[in-house]
Every structure is written in structure tokens, then in C-alpha cells.
Amino acid sequence: MSKILVVDDSSTVRDEVAGFLRKNGLDVETAVDGKDGLAKMKSSPGIKLVISDVNMPNMDGLTMVEKIRGELVNTTVNIIMLTTESSPAMKERGKAAGVKGWIVKPFKGDAVLETFRKLAS
Amino acid sequence: MMTSDMNENRPVSKVLVLDDSPAHANAIKRFCDEHNLVGLKVRKNRLLSVLRSNIDLGAILFSESYGGSLEESAEIALKISTVRPELPIIIRRETSPTLDGLPEGMRRVLCAAYLAGDMAPLRKVIDEYIFSLEYPNALVRGILEITESILSSLFKDVSITWDTPCIVRDRIIFGEVFSLIPLESAWCRGYMMMQAEEQAILELLDRHGMCDAPADFRDLNSLLGEITNLIWGSFKNRYLGDADALARNQVQVPLLVNHKQKYISFGTANPQLCFVYHLTNEQSGHTVKLHQRFIFNLSWSPEDFSEVAQDIGAVVEAGELDLF
């Protein structure tokens, strides 16, 4: 079964997003920051979709994306940013790094569930 | 308390009126009403305990006859200054609008004097000590909108109301836990602080089933952190833009927290912009308070304040996926 990786330094957000996805039958793994997310990407090849925050300690979300695409040479995993950031410059950087989509917090699961299913399949 | 459908955004400031003179009560009340001050009275035997509590004060309006004698009044003024040195004490004199003739120790802790017949010196002090920073109405209104929207999205079945925003000079921390996040832009540099009482928030988490197990302080920390993060993000997107703040001179000052006194200093005597939110469970009626303070201690240029054009707002709502 394909897996979704949720990366956020806030346990409130991790629990909310991961809990919602699990409740809807999806297989979810979590990471506490970009560094942890990168490590999980290395150790879990079944991950098809990453939902990540941008502003995190140790390694921010966009740097993690750049490393997933660059260092891990993983060009197939779908990556969605779930963040408070909405500046066009930040989104442009995400797009250039290989981000598939952008969600401005707060998280509204019902609005994105079906798209997540497709991206994770 | 005002509710979310009211439209009063101009901040007030609470002042403790330690003046028992019936002859001047009306003049002081009128002055307060005309200058966005909320006058609070307190019984003499409760003065010190009230001063140690979280009532978000801006100043003390004192009278030289408050203690019954000048010596007693001087002693009370010194006690106030010991407990709350950050609060300006302004004294009403009977004959001369100066500090002349007052005991030396008392003079040191007073910032100005006025006569009931001439409030101009009082007005000057209020402007200097309390309303020294101008907060644009659009900013105050925006903060309320942002915060209410985020609290509503996090807590279902909770009604959110708030007190009239106020300007405070005290530094007493509300509750047991607070978060702090920097705000950096071309027109402001400072912090936003969210303060809460631990037990009340833990009960809120449990009542709303927001944790798998009974909530503990880590859950509280995480929740307060996320509330702060969401408000900060919206504030940043709406007001701070992509300012080249980081390229400018990054002056910093130490922040000082005294745990024993529940006191935090940002290295400046500048007044703070304070909001108090009440989250009330519609079924149980149980209410939780959240204090939110804005401290622009490093830079403040309201003349450059502007709202950032909402590039995403018209196309993609918060919470919806913007696919590239």
C-alpha cells in the first residue's frame, strides 16, 4: 500500500493531518522536521505523497524538497506544502524545487482528501 | 467586553484611579471617557493584591490625599512603585501642579502632577506614557479578524469574543505558559506573545477530544505553538509581505524573564498592544482566556504601515489545494 509522509514540527498539526488521513483509510508516516522527513524518505521507499510544512527547525520544508529531488534523485514522489506561507516568491521557489501543490493553513481535510488519494496512488 | 460583531477597534487603556475625592470624581471620569481610558477603582485593603494581578494596566492616577495624610500617601506610592515599577504614577495635587513640597522618596516614584482644574499636564503624560505609539485601526481590526478566524478553525462549537483591545504598560505574564514569535518588516520589528493558563487549556483539549489520551503540558505547548504559528503566518502574509527586513540592520536587545515575579521585559518601556480573547464552549458555558500581546520594541513606523495585496486570496482560499 502506498504511503503518505506528513512532515510538521507541530505535533498538533501532525496529529490532525495524520489522524484525518488514517481515519480515511490511508497509510501515514510522520516526521518532525525536514531533516527527519529526508531520513524517512530514504528509509521508506513506499512513500508516494509528502505533505510538508515550510517553516521548521533543523531543516525547512523547501530545503527538504530540494534535497529529495537533488540528493535522493527522487523525481516521482508528489509533494504538497501545507504552510502558513502564501507569498508568491515562496510558492515560486517551491514550484521550482518540484512541489506539486500548495495549501495555506489551516488544514481542511475534506477539501483535499480525494486529491490526496489520487496523488498517493 | 465587546463581541465580534462590534466595530470598536480603537484601543483603550486601563488606569487605576486611587483618588477618593468626591469633588473631583466627575472630572476624572470625564477625562477618562474623553481620552480612551477605563478608570478602575479598588478598595485600599486590596490595592497590592490587585496590583499583582493581571489587569493589564496603563497607569496609576493617584491623589496626594489618598492615604489620609501626605506621609501615608507617600508610603502607598512607594509600595506601588516597588510592586509595579513599570507603571507611571501621576499625582493630583491640591494647590500646585508640580512635585514641589512632596517627600523626596515620593517624588522619585511619581512621573507628573496635575490639578483637577487643569488636566492639560495629565493629558500630556497620558499621551507620552500610554498612547505614545499609534496603532492603525486597520492593524487592530486585522489582528482581531485573523485571530478569531484561526481560533474558530481550531475549536469547533466554541464562541469567540474579545475585550476591547488595550494599551498596557505592565509586564506581568498571564497564566503559566506563553509563546513568543518575532515580527519583522519594513514598518515594524518586535514580537507577538500568546499567554494562557495551563489547566484551562488542558480541560479545553480534553473536552474537545483533541488528544488521544488525557492532555498534558506537551499537548498544551504544541497547541499554543500552532495557534501562534497560524496567527503569525496570517499576520505575515497580510502585513509584512516580502519586506527586505532581514537585509537591514538587525538590532536585537536581550529579553528578560523573571519566573518568580512572572515578569517579562523586552528592553523598552514602550506600551504594548494587548488583546484578550474568551473561548466559550456553547454547551457547557465554560470559558478559556487567551492573552495576545504585540510588542514593537525594536522598530515602529506606523506611517509606513500597509496591507499586502492578497495575491492568493482571490484565487485560492486558505485550506484549499493550489495545484501547480
ipTM: 0.80
Is any Cβ of chain A less than 8 angstroms from the Cβ of B146?
Answer: no
**Chain A contacts of B229, Cβ < 8 Å?**
10, 55, 84, 105
Residue pLDDT, tens place only, B44-93: 999 999 998 888 999 999 999 999 999 999 999 999 999 999 999 999 99
Q: Is the pLDDT of residue B311 over 60?
A: no
Residue pLDDT, tens place only, A26-69: 999 999 999 999 999 999 989 999 999 998 888 899 999 999 99
**Whole-number Å distance between alpha carbons of B213 and B143:** 33
Are the beta carbons of A15 and B211 separated by less than 8 Å? yes
Please provide the DSSP assignment of B63-115 as one string: ETTTTSSHHHHHHHHHHHHHH-TTS-EEEEESS-SSSTTS-HHHHHH--EEEE
Residue carrying C-alpha cell 497564566: B175
Is any Cβ of chain B less than 8 angstroms from the Cβ of A18?
Answer: no
User: Around Cβ B160, how many Cβ atoms within 10 Å?
Assistant: 19
Is the pTM higher than 0.80? The answer reads yes
Q: Is the pLDDT of residue B312 over 50?
A: no
Are the beta carbons of A104 and B319 separated by less than 8 Å? yes
Domains and CATH numbers, chain A: 3-120 (3.40.50.2300)
Helix (H, G, I), strand (E, B) or coil at B40: strand
Helix (H, G, I), strand (E, B) or coil at B224: helix
Residue pLDDT, tens place only, B259-297: 888 889 888 888 999 999 999 988 888 899 999 999 998
Report the gap between the CA of B107 and the closest CA in chain A (Å).
50
Q: What is the pLDDT of residue B246?
A: 55
Residue pLDDT, tens place only, B178-187: 999 999 888 8
Is any Cβ of chain B less than 8 angstroms from the Cβ of A52?
Answer: no
Q: pLDDT grade, residue B243 (50/70/90)?
A: low
Q: What is the pLDDT of residue A113?
A: 93
Q: What is the pLDDT of residue B143?
A: 95
Percent of chain B with pLDDT over 90: 60
Residue pLDDT, tens place only, B163-172: 999 999 988 8
Is any Cβ of chain A less than 8 angstroms from the Cβ of B225?
Answer: yes
Are the beta carbons of A84 and B312 separated by less than 8 Å? no
Q: pLDDT grade, residue B9 (50/70/90)?
A: low
